[in-house]
C-alpha cells in the first residue's frame, strides 16, 4: 500500500492488497412474479427516535401521490406503527380457535 493512501479505492489506480477485485453484489434479485419496485428501510439502533412515525407518514404521503405502499413493522416487542394508523395491538393478535 502506498504511503499516500487515502483508503478511497474508487479513485485509486494502485494495485494494492486493500483493493477488492470482483466485489460481489449484496443485492438479491426479486422473485420473477414480484411487482415490488422499491424498498425503503427505516432503521435505527436506538428506540424511541420516531421510526414508526416516519415510516407511516412516508407510506401515507406516497399513497396519496398514487403509489401502492405497504408497511412491515418487524419490531417483535412492540408494534407501534399500528398506533399511527389508529389500531391497537389487540387488533392484530390472533386469538386461538376453541
Contact 79, 89 (CB under 8 A): yes
Q: Is residue 16 part of a domain?
A: no
Q: What is 8-44 written as a DSSP string? A: -TTS-----TT--TTPPP---PPPTT-----------
Q: What is the residue-averaged pLDDT of the chain?
A: 77
Q: What's the pLDDT band for 1 if we cut at 50, 70, 90? A: very low
Q: Are 5 and 16 in contact (CB under 8 A)?
A: yes
pTM: 0.55
pLDDT at position 14: 73
The pLDDT value recorded for residue 2 is 47
Q: What is the pLDDT of residues 51-90, one digit of tens each?
A: 888 999 999 999 999 999 988 877 766 667 677 777 765 5
User: Is residue 55 situated within a structural domain?
Assistant: yes
- Give how many domains the chain has, as a whole number: 1
Where residue 44 falls among pLDDT bands split at 50, 70, 90? Answer: confident
Parent domain of 83: 51-92
Amino acid at each position: 500500500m502506498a504511503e499516500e493512501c487515502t483508503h478511497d479505492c474508487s479513485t485509486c489506480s494502485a494495485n494494492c492488497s486493500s483493493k477488492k477485485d470482483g466485489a460481489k453484489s449484496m443485492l438479491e434479485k426479486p422473485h420473477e412474479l414480484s411487482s415490488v419496485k422499491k424498498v425503503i428501510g427505516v432503521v435505527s439502533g436506538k428506540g424511541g427516535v420516531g421510526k414508526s412515525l416516519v415510516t407511516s407518514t412516508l407510506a401515507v404521503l406516497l399513497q396519496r401521490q398514487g403509489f401502492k405502499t405497504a408497511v412491515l413493522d418487524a419490531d417483535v416487542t412492540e408494534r407501534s406503527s399500528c398506533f399511527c394508523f389508529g389500531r391497537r395491538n389487540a387488533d392484530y393478535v390472533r386469538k386461538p380457535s376453541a
